[in-house]
């Protein structure tokens, strides 16, 4: 971490019902220079008791626990007046959709890798910094980062780099310049999460960044939307369903800086 990060001095809560896993998580968190204190808890009840008496900057939370599980605890935390950021730490990769629906900052898979934990901590540091420096009236959404796990390698994909999203069953394929990334998040979830960031559903299978739309045109009996080309790559054209046509046109008309045409 850089020097500006070291001064953050976060207080975090670590929750896991398995003692070896909790001890390892706490040990790795304490090794992070930006973390000043780690409060361990072996169940949700203890975690809530700590939260009532201690102000924490983030919660690192296991999912599968007896009693209240991690997702249920995160749901309770989301109702706090100032919800703490939550990072899920779990051995199961099939709960990411539910985790991100609850607003999780990150989703780490066991066994923990130090570099991935450091990335999650850095995101907490960045989030804490934005909360201190951003005026309450600010409405610009932060640039969300989506962790993509493939073959044990994690790629962090910034939302601002995503041009369009393609539905693939319960998954979504994020299309960035020259690449695509498959994530276990339904397109409907991204539609609601990214609406304020300028993404619009144009078809049951497609979600696009309005900032990249260069035109809409008629093809046969339907419409297609064109996205900005990159270098020698051809422009992308995606179908627009009838039910989404009016909203697409209305959104483009309301965007004075958006250059587009309907042919």
Contact 34, 5 (CB under 8 A): yes
Q: How far apart are CA 173 and CA 171, in angstroms?
A: 7
pLDDT for position 254: 61
Cross-sheet strand order for the sheet of 236-240: 213-219, 222-227, 236-240
pLDDT tens string 46-70 = 998 898 889 999 999 999 988 888 8
Q: Do 180 and 102 lie in a common domain?
A: no
Does 139 fall in a domain?
Answer: no
Digits of tens for pLDDT over the chain (263 positions)? 333 344 558 999 999 999 999 999 999 999 999 999 999 999 988 998 898 889 999 999 999 988 888 888 888 888 787 889 999 998 877 777 777 777 888 889 989 999 999 999 999 998 877 665 544 444 344 577 787 777 666 677 888 899 999 999 889 999 998 889 998 889 999 998 898 889 999 999 999 999 888 888 888 888 999 998 766 677 899 999 999 988 888 887 665 444 444 43
Residue 59 sits in a domain whose CATH number is 3.40.50.2300
Does 259 fall in a domain?
Answer: no
Does 260 fall in a domain?
Answer: no
Which domain, by its residues, includes 208?
145-253
Q: Do 125 and 198 lie in a common domain?
A: no
Does 18 fall in a domain?
Answer: yes
Q: Do 34 and 113 lie in a common domain?
A: yes
Last residue of a domain, one of 133, 167, 201: 133
Does 160 fall in a domain?
Answer: yes
Residue 199 sits in a domain whose CATH number is 2.40.50.1020
Count how many domains the chain has: 2
Angle of helix 114-133 relative to helix 19-30, nearest 10 degrees?
60
Q: Do 87 and 175 lie in a common domain?
A: no
What is this structure's pTM? Answer: 0.52
Q: Do 192 and 79 lie in a common domain?
A: no
- Alpha carbon dihedral 183, 187, 191, 192, in 10-degree steps, equals -80
Q: Do 245 and 150 lie in a common domain?
A: yes
- Alpha carbon dihedral 201, 257, 230, 246, in 10-degree steps, equals 30
Query: Shortest CA distance to 110 belongs to which of 42, 181, 61?
Result: 61
Q: How far apart are CA 22 and CA 28, in angstroms?
A: 10
Q: Do 111 and 162 lie in a common domain?
A: no
Contact 202, 217 (CB under 8 A): no
Q: Which residue has the tokens 């907490």?
A: 124
What tokens does 135 get? Answer: 């005026």
Instruction: Determine if the peptide bond prior to 111 is cis (ω within 30°).
Output: yes
Last residue of a domain, one of 98, 133, 168: 133
């Amino acid at each position: 971490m850089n020097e500006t990060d070291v001064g953050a001095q976060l207080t975090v809560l670590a929750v896991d019902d398995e003692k070896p896993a909790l001890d390892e998580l706490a040990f790795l968190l304490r090794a992070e220079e930006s973390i000043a204190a780690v409060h361990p808890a072996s169940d949700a009840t203890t975690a809530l008791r700590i939260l009532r008496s201690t102000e924490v900057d983030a919660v690192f939370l296991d999912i599968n626990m007896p009693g209240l599980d991690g997702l249920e605890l995160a749901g309770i935390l989301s109702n706090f007046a100032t919800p703490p950021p939550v990072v899920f730490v779990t051995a199961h990769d099939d709960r990411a959709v539910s985790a991100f629906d609850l607003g999780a900052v990150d989703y780490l898979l066991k066994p923990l890798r130090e570099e991935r934990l450091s990335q999650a901590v850095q995101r907490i540091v960045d989030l804490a910094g934005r909360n201190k420096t951003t005026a309450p009236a600010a409405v610009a959404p932060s640039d969300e980062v989506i962790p993509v796990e493939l073959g044990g390698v994690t790629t962090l994909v910034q939302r601002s780099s995503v041009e369009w999203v393609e539905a693939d069953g319960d998954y979504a394929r994020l299309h960035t310049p020259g690449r695509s990334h498959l994530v276990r998040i339904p397109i409907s979830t991204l539609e609601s999460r990214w609406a304020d960031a300028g993404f619009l559903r144009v078809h049951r299978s497609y979600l696009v960044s309005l900032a990249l739309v260069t035109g809409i045109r008629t093809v046969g009996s339907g419409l297609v939307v064109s996205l900005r080309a990159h270098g020698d790559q051809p422009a992308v054209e995606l179908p627009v369903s009838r039910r989404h046509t009016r909203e697409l046109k209305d959104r483009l008309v309301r965007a004075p800086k958006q250059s587009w045409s309907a042919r």
